[in-house]
Amino acid sequence: MMELRNRARPTMDNALGNALSPIPPTKKAAARAALIDLAEPAKTMLTDCFRQFGIEPVAMNGDGAARLVKEKYEACVIPLNEGAAAVMDAARTSASNSRIVLYGLGGSAQDSMRYSKYGINAMFHEPLERPAMLKLVRATRLLVLHEFRRYVRIPVMTEVSIIAEGRRLTATSVEMSSGGMSLKSVEAFSPGANVEISFALMTLPRVNLRGVISWNKPKSLGVRFDPNDRCRLKLKTWIDSYLEN
């Protein structure tokens, strides 16, 4: 019996040792997202969403603009309220955060266009729904984490003027690359139709580009730029600069 007890002891000691062994440190987040003046439950929901993709959220209350001038962040979520412009301006004029990924929270597409000069990258629409939030973070995480594909598409919201099929209208950009862009529009177009578009982006003065409608879905469309249009070089230069920073 004594021999049996002695044989069992090492196993018990090992189990106890394993139970008391230090927990290995978690992997450090590759990027940080500033959550500016967010109320509950939005703050908790966004915290969980970002952490699922290796992005560490940092909550800020009242001091967001000052901290974005001094501290480096890869992303920022800002409610589209009276104080939004000051925070966005602080971020875009900061040497370390000028290319930060900006998420707007709440408001309509028209509200987001009020801040188009700051280059909002994406919008969390209210009422907030977890599946939609996860989908948005997943779609933009590569830009936040600086893991770019060879043919990168930049999510950015700005007002776009379109002339196509004898009509002149306004749309909102969703994503763009040096080869084309996707837009939101309630108007329908014929795939293959020639278009002329015009838009401006933060440090990029207004550009005019020719292209064709590459696809058309309800409330959205794609434009493929004319490869011979010299203005494509201006957009490519801006995108390259955006990614390098």
Task: List residues bridging with 184 in a β-sheet.
Answer: 172, 220
Contact (Cβ atoms closer than 8 angstroms) between residue 222 and residue 215? yes
pLDDT score recorded for residue 220: 94
Is residue 14 pLDDT above 60, yes or no?
no
Please state, in angstroms and as integers, the Cα–Cα distance from residue 110 to each residue in 68, 87, 134, 171, following that order.
Answer: 26, 19, 23, 11
Contact (Cβ atoms closer than 8 angstroms) between residue 63 and residue 54? no
pLDDT score recorded for residue 148: 63
Domain boundaries, the chain: 31-145, 154-244
pLDDT score recorded for residue 110: 73
74 or 82, higher pLDDT: 74
- CA dihedral defined by 208, 211, 214, 217, rounded to 10 degrees? 40
Mean pLDDT: which of 11-25, 26-40, 219-233 is highest?
Answer: 219-233
Buried b (16+ CB within 10 A) or exposed e, 144-170: bbeeeeeebbbbbbbbbebebeeeeee
The mean pLDDT value for 213-242 works out to 92
What CATH number labels 31-145? 3.40.50.2300
| Per-residue pLDDT tens digits for 166-188 | 899 999 999 999 899 999 998 88
The mean pLDDT value for 93-111 works out to 86
H or E stretch at 15: helix 2-20
Is residue 13 pLDDT above 60, yes or no?
no
Please state, in angstroms and as integers, the Cα–Cα distance from residue 182 to each residue in 27, 29, 79, 155, 174, following that order.
Answer: 35, 31, 24, 9, 5
27 or 193, higher pLDDT: 193
Is residue 108 pLDDT above 80, yes or no?
no
pLDDT score recorded for residue 28: 54
pLDDT score recorded for residue 166: 87
193: confidence class by pLDDT, cuts 50, 70, 90: very high
What CATH number labels 154-244? 2.40.10.220
Buried b (16+ CB within 10 A) or exposed e, 31-50: bbbbbbbbeeebbebbbebb
